A and B are shown apart, each in its own frame.
Chain A
Amino acid sequence: MKKDIFSLSEKFEKVSKEAREIFNLWNYREVFLPSIEAFNPHLRKGLKFAYNNKFYLIKPDLTSQVSLYAKKKNLRVFYISEVLKDSVKGEWQLGAELLNGKDISMHIEMLMIIISLLELMNIKEFYIDVGSLQVWKNEIGENKELEEKVFESLRKRNFEIIETLPISKNKKENLWHLFNFRGRDTNYEKLKNIVDVLNDKRIFIDFGTVRPLPYYNDIIFEIYSSKIGYYIGGGGDYLINGRKCIGFGLNLKALSLLSKSTKKEKRTVVHNYREAFSLVKNHTPIEVKDE
C-alpha cells in the first residue's frame, strides 16, 4: 500500500511552518537549492546518474551543496529539502548553515537555534551530545593508519580494534578514557566553554560521538531522544577555503513524530471567495466553506 502522502505532508507542513518562523526570528534566510547538481567530488550523498555523457547528482547532502555557492561574506541560511542517501531512498531534512563564523559564538548560536526549534515544537525530551574530532587527532598525532583504525573503532563502538593495534599501553589507556568519556567537564577548553555558556542539562560532552560525513573539522554534535530509536539529527563545524562554518540537519519525520503541539490556528470561516481574498490580503487565516 502506498503511504498516505497527504497525511504525511500535513505533519511535515506543520513542523516546517514552525521551523520557518523560528529561523526568521534568528534572522536566517531560506535557501532553495537545485534538485540536480553536476557531479563534484565535494558533494556528498545524492543519487548519481549520467546524462549526455556527463555525471550528475540528484538531491545531494545539503551542507556540501550550500558550500558550493558560499561566497566570502557572512551568511546565515536555512533549508527544508529531501536528501537522497546514495540511492533512491530519501530523507526530508530541515537545517541551517552559518558560513564565515567565529569560534565559539557560531557553535553557541547553532546549538541555541536547535534547542529553540525543538522547544518551540514542544519537544522537551531530547539530548544533545557534543564531541570533538580535534581531541582524537591530538591523541593520535600524524599517524594516518592509526587515525583510520581509531575512527573505525568509534564508528562501530568497538574498542577491540584499538586493543589489537601496535601502540603503547599508555596510549591505549588514553584512548580508552576518551572512548568512554561522557559528562560535562573536560580539559578541552573550547568544548568546555561551549557547554558552560549553554548551561543546559540536556547537553553532554561525549567524545564517542561520530558523524557519518567526512567534512567536519572539530566540534560535532548529535541530537536524539529516548522516545525514538534513531537520531533526530546532527551537525558540526567545517571549513570552506579556510573559513569557519557550521551547520546542522534535522530529520523532518523524527520532528513530526515527536512534536506534540495540538494547537490549531483559529481561522475565520467565510462563505465566499471575494471576502476570503480581502482577508488573506490582511494576513488573516481563513477557511472557505461552501454555502
Chain B
Amino acid sequence: MNKLRVALPKGRLFNDALSFIKMMGIQISEPEGRKLLSKNGMYEMLVARVFDVPVYVEYGIDLGITGSDVVEERESDVFIPLSLPFGKCRLSIAVPENINVSLKEMDGWRIATKYPHITKKFFDKINVDIEIVELKGATEIAPGIGIADAIAEIVEKGTTLKENHLKEIAKISDVSALLIVNRISQKTKFDLINHLINKAKEVRNGS
C-alpha cells in the first residue's frame, strides 16, 4: 500500500487546511497534545511552521498546503497544481501613517520584512535601491521603534497596520493557500497524486 505523507502549516491556515484535506478524502486527525505527527492507515500528517512546509515537501514529504507568499519567498522546487479557496490576503508595503511617499521615492529606505527575496525583487523591478531588515515576526512595530522606515507584510483587513499607525501604500502580490506536491512523489505515486489533485479541484469548485 502506498503511504502518503502530508505537511500542514501551523497557525492561521491550519484549520482550513485540515478540513480541506479531509474533504479530499484524506481522513486524518490533528496530532494530539504537543505531538507534531499523526497517522491513520496509509496517511501521515506532519504539522510544521508555514515557512517550513515547502522545504519539507521539496525534500520528500509528498504533499502540503501553504501560502503562495511562502512558496515564492522560499523559491522551493515543488509542483503547484492548485490554488485553494482560503488564506486569501495580500503582501503589501506599509509606511507610517503620517508620511506621504511614493514607491519611487523610497530609494535608500530600510524595510523590515519576513519576505526579503520577494521585497528585494519588487523594488529591483522598479529600480529602487532599498535595504532589507529581515525579521521573523511582529514587523509592524519596526517603524515605530525606529529600526526600519517601512514594512513589507501580509495584510488581511488592515487592523494590525492601523493599530500600529501604519498605512498600506502598495500591493506586492495577492496571496492564497496552495496545494504543493513533491516532484518525485508526482512520479512515483502518479495515479494517487493525480487522483488527489482531481479530488481537491472538485472540493474547491464545490462539485
Contacts and interface: CB of A to CB of B under 8 A. Distances in A.
Interface of A: 127, 129, 156-160, 180, 182, 206, 212, 224-226, 228-231
B184 interface: yes
B80 A226 contact: no
B55 to A, nearest CB: 11
Contact of A127 (B61, B79, B185, B187): B187
15 contacts: A157-B80, A157-B81, A157-B181, A158-B79, A158-B80, A160-B82, A182-B190, A206-B187, A224-B187, A229-B58, A229-B182, A230-B58, A230-B59, A230-B60, A230-B184
B188 interface: yes
Interface in B159-207: 181-188, 190, 194
Chain B, interface SS category: mixed
A231 B82 contact: no
Interface of B: 58-61, 77, 79-83, 181-188, 190, 194
Contact of B188 (A160, A212, A224, A230): A224
B81 A158 contact: yes
B92 to A, nearest CB: 24
A12 to B, nearest CB: 20
Contacts of B79: 156-158
A172 B5 CA distance: 32
B187 A228 contact: no
A129 B58 CA distance: 19
A55 B137 CA distance: 37
Contacts of B83: 160
Contacts of A129: 187
Contacts of B183: 230-231
Given A127-B187, A224-B184, A231-B183, 15 more contacts: A156-B79, A156-B80, A157-B186, A160-B83, A212-B77, A224-B188, A225-B184, A226-B184, A226-B188, A229-B59, A229-B182, A230-B59, A230-B183, A230-B184, A231-B184
A195 B58 CA distance: 29
Contacts of A231: 183-184
A127 B190 CA distance: 13
Given A231-B183, A231-B184, A156 B60 contact: no
A129 B194 CA distance: 17
Contacts of B194: 180
A169 to B, nearest CB: 18
A142 to B, nearest CB: 28
A15 B183 CA distance: 25
Nearest to A154: B79
A225 B184 CA distance: 8
A230 B79 CA distance: 12
Contacts of B181: 157
A229 B184 contact: yes
Contacts of B77: 212, 230
Nearest to A155: B79
Contacts of B187: 127, 129, 206, 224
A228 B60 contact: yes
